[in-house]
A and B are shown apart, each in its own frame.
Chain A
Amino acid sequence: MTSLAINLPDNRESFAPGDVLKGEATWQLDKTPEKMFLRLFWYTRGKGTEDIEVVSETVFAHPLASETRSFKIPLPQKPYSFSGKLVSLTWALELVTSDNDTAVTKEIVISPFGYEIDLTKHKKEPS
């Protein structure tokens, strides 16, 4: 049976810019992968072309077929997680095998307010 998981302490999903993200990556695979990668990235969704940027990559070398490894990732200062009418920006972690055959993602929020910034609630001031 194949399974991958990214576990964060207390199932925490929201982090402040500059925090150190600590957690565990767990995998159970049918065959031993060459390497495992944990990537921190953000992506946009909305009306226009999507953007994506991988901000950091942690390599788990010499993995076993079934294993749990801990990780520590310093989070960047920006961009914040936000959602507006035209575009939303989402942060996520991806745990993936070196052959890109199996992967799991976990969305997180990076914001100084502890929640995703909702731009749809900020009405334009009448001029």
Chain B
Amino acid sequence: MNARNNPFSSRHVESLAYQYPGISVYDIMARLKGLNYRAAIVGPEGSGKTTLMETIGAGLQKEGFQTLYVRFDEENKKLRKDLFKYNPDKLTTDHAFLVDGAEQLSWLAWKFLCLYTKKAGAVIITSHAQAQRIRMIPTLLNTTTSPELLYSLVLKLVGEKHMISGREISRLFESHHGNIRLALRELYDIWSDK
């Protein structure tokens, strides 16, 4: 199968909405408001933190916030001036700052980021671990995964007709230690060989 038709291409995977059992996006937004729009999304790799943050970002835009995203990863751990399009003095309560991968930052960089975003109306971060710096910001949600979640996401991508077995889903889930992103990438490879 070529890349364009692969149901596990990044375009399709990234368009999946965040799913969390028993809680709606509306509930999450209400909880965020209750935390005065400063909160952390905490969870292991591939558990949907970034997806949830983007969902929240869209929700904040609907509430009138201007959203600003900053992403950190293994290769991009440092705060650089060019990461920020806005002068901190120009940040207002209308701005929502969304920081993906906050666990990558050093203690000093985290402190700087806190100062930088002081005037913003909302600050949402994602982090892999419940690191010390994360304790300074209340947890909005701990993201978790399950074979059932993987099953429902795969079903959305391929449809009932091409759905794979529950046993295969369990195998993928276990072999990737619950990392949904990696499981979907393996499925991309499996589909590309069809």
Chain A positions within 8 Å of B192 at CB level: 47, 85-86
Query: Chain B's interface: helix, strand, loop or mixed, by majority?
Result: helix
Check if A50 sits within 8 Å of B3, measured CB to CB: no
Residue B4 is within 8 A (CB to CB) of chain A in the complex: yes
Residue B1 is within 8 A (CB to CB) of chain A in the complex: yes
A49–B185 alpha-carbon span in the complex (Å): 12
Chain A positions within 8 Å of B4 at CB level: 45-46, 83, 88, 90
Give the size of the chain A interface in residues (CB under 8 angstroms): 17
A46–B96 alpha-carbon span in the complex (Å): 31
- Given A44-B3, A45-B11, 16 extra CB contacts under 8 A: A45-B9, A46-B4, A47-B6, A47-B9, A47-B188, A47-B192, A49-B10, A83-B2, A83-B3, A85-B1, A86-B3, A87-B3, A90-B4, A118-B2, A120-B1, A120-B2
Q: How far is the CB of B138 from chain A (nearest CB, A)?
A: 32
Q: Which residues 152-194 of B sit at the A interface, judged by CB distance below 8 A?
A: 185, 188-189, 192-193
A85–B192 alpha-carbon span in the complex (Å): 5
Chain A positions within 8 Å of B11 at CB level: 45, 50
A-B contact count (CB 8 A): 46
Q: How far is the CB of B8 from chain A (nearest CB, A)?
A: 8
**B residues neighboring A (CB under 8 Å):** 1-4, 6, 8-11, 185, 188-189, 192-193
Q: How far is the CB of B186 from chain A (nearest CB, A)?
A: 11
Residue A48 is within 8 A (CB to CB) of chain B in the complex: yes
Q: How far is the CB of B14 from chain A (nearest CB, A)?
A: 9
